[in-house]
Amino acid sequence: MSTFNTSREEIAIVSFVELSPAEASQLDEIETIQTIVSRATDGAGIARDRIGFTVSGSCDMLVGRPFSWIMAMDGAGVSKPIEESHVEMDGAWALYEAWVRLQHGDIDAALIYCFGANAAEDLMQVLALQLDPYYLAPTGINAAEVAALQASAMLASGATERQFAEVAVRAGLAVSVEAALAEPYLHRPLRASDLPRFSDGAAAMVIARGDYARSVCARPAWIQSMAHIADGHSLGARDLSKSPSLEKAARLAGVGAKATQIVEVHAPFGPQEVIALEALKQAGLSADAKVNPSGGTRAAQSVMVAGLAAIGRAASAIHRGEASRTVGHASSGPALQHNLIAVLEERS
């Protein structure tokens, strides 16, 4: 297998914005896109005519309507033709497509946006539609129960519920480890504080090349590398207590090549954060890297947005001068099946 994961062109995240759940819940999709796109471009001093590629991420099944992103695109102000794409994936993969596009060196900047209107439905049920339609979905298992199977596999291989509780405290979903452990089980061994709190959300990002990046951003977050890998799907064919795909993506992206100060992990269910951090550690992540200093995405999880948000927050830490090397992680699918890693650096 030949893979090249390091940026050949100098490409940086120069702008990132996300809507608060409160804000997102007040806006329809077009207004949402209009708001985040204008903040990420105009608001950051980036001229729209320098954007050579636009790509979005969203999922029809969340909106409950086919082609849902088409109307939403009106909010991006597309009144003349643009070069554009859409992925039926978290915005983090839209970022990946944009990063690939910029490697060609012919355009200066790309706009990425994503949205997930998901406060209104039973997301655990909707997410179960991702399962194999012949062998898994007909069992009626939902997404939380899949996560519970995974957590059980972890306990069987040595993890503890105390570890899960520590993650819940870090995510702001429990006041203390003891309080978390005192909660009743919802889906044994998962408790309420192990589950994500779904909310509406949206995020937008601009990435740019070389001198243009430097001209619009005081401290660009240079994308040193990106890689993503999927595990197989069938739950019975995987060791659910591990994430080989995340470990491999992190190795390909060279996470361990230098010291990292901050890692923003996107693990929808608490125990998955334990798996993700172990995989990252195996791939050489610095032991003292701060985990989710942004608070993480679980307290207000917007499906299709949370992955890009984790990477965006890792970039923002560099923009603010709080770190010189950060790692952003996005995940997708049942039991953390698909994982993406972006390594971001400050350069003088």
Partner 1 sequence: MKQRCAVLGIGQTHHAAKRGDLSMSGLVREAALRALDDAGMTFDEIDAVVMGKAPDFFEGVMTPELYLADALGAAGKPVFRVHTAGSVGGSTAIFATHLVTSGIHKRVLTLAWEKQSESNAMWALSPKYPFSPPTTAGAGGYFAPFVRAYIEFTGAPEHIGWQVAYKDRIHALKNPYAHLQMPEITIDMVKNSPVLWDPIRYLETCPSSDGAGAMILVSEDVAEASGKKVAWVHGTANRTEAILYPRRNQVLPQAGSDCAKALYKEAGITDPKREIDTAEIYVPFAWFEPMWLENIGLADANDGWKMVDSGDTMLGGRQPINPSGGVLSSNPIGASGMLRFLEAAHQVRGTAGEHQVEGAKKALGHAYGGGSQYFAMWIVGAEKP
Place of tokens 């125990």: 271
Q: Does 348 bind partner 1 (CB under 8 A)?
A: no
Q: Which of residues 230-289 bind partner 1 (CB under 8 A)?
A: 230-234, 237, 244-245, 248
Report how far apart the first and last C-alpha atoms of the chain are (Å, whole number): 34
Closest by alpha carbon to 330, among 318, 317, 339, 320?
Answer: 339
Measured distance CA(326)–CA(314) in Å, rounded: 6
Site residue total, partner 1 (CB under 8 A) = 67
Residue type, 30: I
Segment contacting partner 1 by CB under 8 A, of 15-23, 43-51, 94-102, 172-180: 94-102
Measured distance CA(24)–CA(184) in Å, rounded: 31
Among 12, 27, 37, 73, binds partner 1 (CB under 8 A): 73
Asked whether the beta carbons of 150 and 270 are under 8 A apart, the reply is no
Buried b vs exposed e over 48-75: b needs ≥16 C-beta within 10 Å? eebbbbbbbbbbebbbeeeebbeebbeb
Chain-centroid distance of CA 116 in Å reads 12
Q: Does 81 bind partner 1 (CB under 8 A)?
A: yes
C-beta of 63: minimal distance to partner 1 in Å?
10
Among 85, 215, 261, 294, binds partner 1 (CB under 8 A): 85
Nearer to partner 1, 57 or 293 (CB): 57
Nearer to partner 1, 19 or 123 (CB): 123
Residue type, 274: V
Can you read off the two tokens belonging to residue 156? 């069987």
Q: Does 124 bind partner 1 (CB under 8 A)?
A: no
C-beta of 303: minimal distance to partner 1 in Å?
10
> Can you say whether residue 81 is alpha, beta or left, with left for phi > 0 and alpha for psi between -120 and 50 degrees?
beta
Measured distance CA(20)–CA(199) in Å, rounded: 9
Measured distance CA(245)–CA(219) in Å, rounded: 31
Q: Which of residues 24-63 bind partner 1 (CB under 8 A)?
A: 28, 54, 59-61
Q: Which of residues 299-338 bind partner 1 (CB under 8 A)?
A: 332-334, 337-338
Among 35, 86, 253, 298, binds partner 1 (CB under 8 A): 86
Nearer to partner 1, 170 or 233 (CB): 233
What are residue 339's phi and psi, to 5 degrees? -135, 145
Segment contacting partner 1 by CB under 8 A, of 153-161, 203-211, 222-230, 319-327: 222-230
Among 22, 47, 100, 182, binds partner 1 (CB under 8 A): 100
Among 22, 26, 47, 104, binds partner 1 (CB under 8 A): 104
Nearer to partner 1, 248 or 298 (CB): 248
C-beta of 48: minimal distance to partner 1 in Å?
14
Q: Does 119 bind partner 1 (CB under 8 A)?
A: no
| Angle between the N-to-C axes of helices 91-102 and 306-319, in degrees from 0 to 180, rounded to the nearest 10 | 60
Site residues for partner 1 per CB under 8 A? 1-5, 8, 28, 54, 59-61, 65-71, 73-74, 78-89, 93, 96-97, 100-101, 103-105, 126-127, 129-134, 136-137, 227-234, 237, 244-245, 248, 332-334, 337-338
